[in-house]
Structure 1
Amino acid sequence: MQSTPFNWDYENPFTQEFRVQDQHIDFIGHVNNAVYVGWCQDAGWQHSLDLGLGLEEYKSLDAAMIIRRADYDYILSAYTGDECIMGTWLSANDHKLTMERQFQLLRKVDGKTLLRGHWQLVCIRMSNGKPRRMPVEFDTRYGAVVIPPPV
Structure 2
Amino acid sequence: MTAEAPTAPALSYGRLVPVTVHFDDLDALGMLHNARYPLMVERAWARHWREQGYGFDGDWAAAGDFCNVVKELRISYEAPVTRPGSYAVHLWLERLGTTGLTYGFRFCSADGARTYAQGTRVLVRLDADTLRPTAWTDGFRASGRELLRPAD
- Specify the TM-score bucket, using the shorter chain as the normaliser: 0.7 to 0.9
Q: Which residue of 1 aligns with 2:17?
A: 16
Q: What SS does the corresponding residue of 2:37 show, helix, strand or coil?
A: helix
Residue 135 (structure 2) aligned to one of 133, 136, 151:
133
Shift of 1:109: 7.5
What are the superposed Cα offsets for residues 92-150 of structure 1, whole Å, 9 maximum, x if unpaired? 112x111111111112389321010201111111234221122223223223432222x
Q: Is the 8 A contact 2:99 2:136 kept in 1?
A: yes
Residues 48, 54 of structure 1: 8 Å contact kept: yes
Go from structure 1 to structure 2 and tell me whether the alpha carbon gap of 1:18 and 1:135 turns closer, same or farther (over 3 Å shift): closer
Give 1:122's match in structure 2, choosing from 124, 138, 144.
124
Write the mapping of 1:2-151 to structure 2, written as runs, cut at 5 A: 6-7=8-9, 11-55=12-56, 59-60=61-62, 62-63=64-65, 64-94=67-97, 96-108=98-110, 111-149=113-151, 151=152
Q: Which residue of 1 aligns with 2:3?
A: none
Q: Is the 8 A contact 1:16 1:85 kept in 2?
A: yes
- Aligned residues between the structures: 144
Q: Normalising by structure 1, what TM-score?
A: 0.80
Question: Structure 2: which amino acid aligns with 1:60?
Answer: A
**Residues 58 and 52 (structure 1 numbering): CA distance in 2 closer, same or farther, change over 3 Å?**
farther
Task: Tell me: CA distance 1:54–1:112, structure 2 relative to 1, closer, same or farther (3 Å).
Answer: same
Give ranges in structure 1 of 5+ residues lacking alignment: none
Instruction: Answer yes or no: is the 8 Å Cα contact 2:81–2:116 preserved in 1.
Output: yes
Q: CA deviation at 1:13?
A: 2.9
